[in-house]
């Protein structure tokens, strides 16, 4: 068994039975529940809401993260703390006070997640790495499911892997992550995987069978 973390992206779950989905994924060995929150401005789409966060929190003791794709992410930090979120991911793009936002997450007792979009270079966010507990590398453009994996992002992952011991952060990836990508990237320094329909949801196998194989 490897020490990678499996993080189901709940936007891909069955919303009619979100409680049952969370319970099943928890029992199957999921490590962190991933929730996308969008404001319709940072990306032209909307994700899950506070009521969904509350449903997840009531039905698992595992960690919950929120990926904030919003213009004014700093305005919502305390709100997510109050509903039991453990990790908050924010984008450096579009936030002129990103270091303040990251510090506010830490001050509220949550893990700091720094998101790197496909078009953002490691050089651009290097000075923020000391503030991050997790760097989340987007391997598709944020905002929509069903996209293809962007292979050119691999080079960014490799660069971050060279820096993670110096700055003491973990690397997670999000976007069209297939089982083959998990097998490959876990050998390249990736610690956690946000999984949707490419590897976890809508398959003929049970969640437990899939997660067990991914962690082998």
Q: What number is the average pLDDT over the span 24-42?
A: 85
On whether the 5-215 domain is CATH 3.20.20.70, my answer is yes
Please say if 133 is a catalytic residue: no
Per residue in 123-171, pLDDT (tens digit) is 999 999 999 999 999 999 886 667 899 999 999 999 999 999 999 999 9
Q: Given this model, what pLDDT does residue 174 score? A: 97
pLDDT at residue 43 in the model: 43
Which string of b and e fits 24-46 if b means at least 16 CB within 10 Å?
A: bbbebbbbbbbbbbbbeebbeee
**pLDDT digit string, tens, across residues 177-189:** 999 999 999 999 9
Mean pLDDT of the region 53-57: 96
Long-range contacts, 141-148 (Cβ 8 Å, 24+): 141/117, 142/43, 142/67, 142/69, 142/91, 142/115, 142/117, 142/175, 143/38, 143/42, 143/43, 143/44, 143/45, 143/69, 144/43, 144/45, 145/11, 145/12, 145/196, 145/197, 146/197, 147/175, 147/176, 148/176
Residue 47: which pLDDT band, with cuts at 50, 70 and 90?
A: low
Confidence tier at 75 by pLDDT (50, 70, 90): confident
The predicted model gives 97-103 an average pLDDT of 94
Ranges of each domain in the chain: 5-215
Q: Is the pLDDT of residue 40 over 90?
A: no
Point out the catalytic residue in the list 31, 36, 65, 191.
36
> Which tokens sit at 58?
């009531």
Between 157 and 68, where is the model more confident? 157
pLDDT of residue 142: 80
Q: Pick the catalytic residue: 26, 65, 95, 174?
A: 174
Q: CA quadruple 182, 186, 187, 189: dihedral positive or negative?
A: positive
86 catalytic per annotation: no
- pLDDT reported for residue 15: 87
Please report, rounded to a whole number, the percentage of residues in the chain having pLDDT higher than 90: 81
Q: Quick one: pLDDT band at residue 86, thresholds 50, 70, 90?
A: very high
For all residues of the chain together, what is the average pLDDT? 92
- Res 22 pLDDT > 60: yes
Each residue's pLDDT tens digit, 111-121 = 999 999 999 99
pLDDT for 93: 83
Least confident of 36-40, 58-62, 192-196: 36-40
């Amino acid at each position: 068994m490897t020490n990678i973390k499996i993080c189901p992206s709940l936007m891909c779950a069955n919303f009619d039975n979100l409680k049952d989905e969370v319970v099943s994924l928890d029992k199957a060995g999921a490590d962190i529940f991933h929730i996308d929150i969008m404001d319709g401005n940072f990306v032209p789409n909307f994700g899950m809401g506070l009521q969904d966060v509350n449903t997840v929190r009531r039905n698992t003791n595992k960690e919950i993260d929120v990926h904030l794709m919003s213009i004014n992410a700093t305005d919502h930090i305390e709100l997510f703390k109050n509903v039991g979120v453990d990790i908050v991911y924010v984008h450096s793009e579009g936030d002129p006070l990103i270091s303040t936002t990251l510090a506010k997450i830490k001050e509220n007792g949550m893990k700091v997640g720094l998101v790197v979009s496909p078009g953002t270079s490691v050089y651009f966010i290097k000075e923020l790495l000391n503030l991050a507990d997790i760097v989340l590398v987007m391997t598709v453009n944020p905002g929509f499911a069903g996209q293809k994996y962007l292979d050119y992002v691999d080079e960014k992952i490799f660069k971050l892997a060279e820096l993670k011991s110096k700055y003491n952060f973990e690397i997670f990836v999000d976007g069209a992550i297939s089982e083959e990508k998990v097998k490959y990237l876990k050998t390249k320094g990736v610690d956690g995987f946000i999984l949707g329909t490419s590897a976890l949801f809508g398959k003929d196998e049970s969640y437990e069978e899939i997660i067990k194989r991914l962690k082998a």
